[in-house]
Chain A
């Protein structure tokens, strides 16, 4: 029974990791990374490592995706030189969007 549990959890981690790498948009990738963090926490729990699972749960599902989203927000707020995203940048630059990516 336990072996099957480990197998399913590890398979899910492999799936989530592959999806996270193949998701090229950083904002979407942050969400997939959060799923990966959660599935890693499950794997650690079934591998009898509650300490690591706790740590991974807090860091992997909350902290790392939050940092990536904040960076994305900082980096894409300005229009790029090629101006192809100028309208996007204008909208994001007008201020009251404090919680769109939280």
Chain B
């Protein structure tokens, strides 16, 4: 198909989509409506389980099974990317060279790295109370570690990042989500049932299984994303292809 024909087909399809989408939008409840039946039930259920952050309660308690699917997708994509980006037989490994960094950048990174790591752990641990949780905190933890690359060089980052340990931790965290679910089935009769004591409202220990699942997802997201970025960085920084040997790197 030529580019022009493709564009024509797309424009026709887009016109149809736009027409039906607009028609559907006019039939939706208006923007800012007061009627949110599911939202109100979710809020009531979350308060019943003494979880202050209703979004976390929906994710890790009311709809915890859905989150199991999401984190399985995450695990699967990390696995797939690891497989795709492994070192091929014809690729050369080139050791990253030490880089010189401005002292201000080094100071900035050295100061910010521990602070950001603590913030990440805080966000994971307080997911049931304040905005945050395993997904957000995990991303913060994963990106925080890469401040080492900004502040120093790739070798420093590699020292901070034991990939084998992270891979095992990733798998264990992914498995522990299912195990917590099975524990709920044994103790309470339903998969991922919230069986732990609910604690006092608005304290770190409230919410039953919500903080535990949050921690599992936090570890999984952090380890998975660090591993993912590690493979991309390896590809971009360290691995060279046979063609490149021929043309460029001599």
Contacts and interface: CB of A to CB of B under 8 A. Distances in A.
A contacts B: CB pair < 8 Å: yes
Interface of A: 3, 49-55, 58-59, 62-63, 66-67, 70-71, 73-74, 77-79, 86, 89-90, 92-96, 98-99, 102
B40 interface: no
B154 A92 contact: no
B234 to A, nearest CB: 10
Given A58-B143, A78-B243, 5 more contacts: A54-B131, A63-B139, A77-B236, A78-B248, A93-B248
A79 B249 CA distance: 11
Contact of A51 (B32, B53, B140, B146): B53
A44 B194 CA distance: 29
B121 to A, nearest CB: 14
A70 B233 contact: yes
Chain A facing B: main interface SS: helix
B136 A98 contact: no
Contact of B97 (A50, A89, A98): A98
Given A78-B241, A78-B244, A79-B248, A95 B97 contact: yes
Nearest to B154: A98
Nearest to A62: B143
A98 B96 contact: yes
B149 A102 contact: yes
Interface of B: 32, 53, 55-56, 94, 96-97, 99, 123, 131-133, 135-136, 139-140, 142-143, 146, 149-150, 153-154, 225, 228-229, 232-233, 235-237, 240-241, 243-244, 247-249
Contact of B225 (A63, A74, A78): A63
Contacts of B142: 63
A93 B97 contact: no
13 contacts: A51-B132, A55-B135, A67-B232, A70-B229, A70-B235, A70-B236, A77-B236, A78-B247, A78-B248, A95-B94, A95-B249, A98-B237, A99-B99
A59 B224 CA distance: 14
Contacts of A93: 240, 244, 247-249
A63 to B, nearest CB: 6
B16 to A, nearest CB: 20
Given A55-B139, A98-B99, A86 B232 contact: no
Contacts of B232: 67, 70-71, 74
A68 B237 CA distance: 14
B233 A54 contact: no
B248 A98 contact: no
A65 to B, nearest CB: 11
A87 B236 CA distance: 19
Nearest to B239: A74
A29 to B, nearest CB: 17
A94 B216 CA distance: 43
Contacts of B133: 51
Contacts of A62: 143
Contacts of A71: 232, 236
A53 B130 CA distance: 13
A102 B237 contact: no
List 10 A-B pairs, minimum CB-CB distance, nearest first: A93-B248, A50-B131, A58-B139, A70-B232, A70-B236, A54-B136, A73-B236, A51-B55, A74-B236, A55-B136
